[in-house]
Chains A and B, each alone.
Chain A
Amino acid sequence: MSDVLDLVGAVFLLLGALLALAAAIGLLRLPDVLSRMHAATKPQTAGLVLVVIGAALLLRTSVDTWMLVLVGAFQLITAPVTAHLVGRLAYRSGGVRPDLLHRDDLADREEDPAR
Chain B
Amino acid sequence: MSAEVQRGWFTRRPRVLRVLWLTLVWVLLWGTFSWANLLGGLAVAIVVLALFPLPAVSTGGRLRPLALVRVFLDVARDLVVSSVQVAWQSVRPGPPIRSSIVAVEVSEDSELLMAMLVECLSLVPGSVVVEASAEERMLWAHVLGADDDAAVERFRAQVARLEADLLAVGLAQVRVEPTSSGRTEAGTDPLDDPEELLEDDEPDRLDGAVRTREADR
Contacts and interface: CB of A to CB of B under 8 A. Distances in A.
A interacts with B: yes
Interface of A: 18-19, 22-23, 25-26, 29-31, 34-35, 37-39, 41-43, 45-47, 49, 62-67, 69-70, 76-77, 79-81, 83-84, 87-88, 91, 96-97, 100-107, 109
Interface string B42-86: 000000000000000000000000000000000000011011111
Contacts of B38: none
B108 to A, nearest CB: 20
B38 to A, nearest CB: 14
A105 B86 contact: no
B144 interface: yes
A46 B101 contact: no
B161 to A, nearest CB: 18
A105 B103 contact: yes
A21 to B, nearest CB: 9
Interface in B90-148: 90-91, 96-103, 118-123, 126, 128-132, 140, 142, 144, 146-148
A93 B144 CA distance: 19
A103 B152 contact: yes
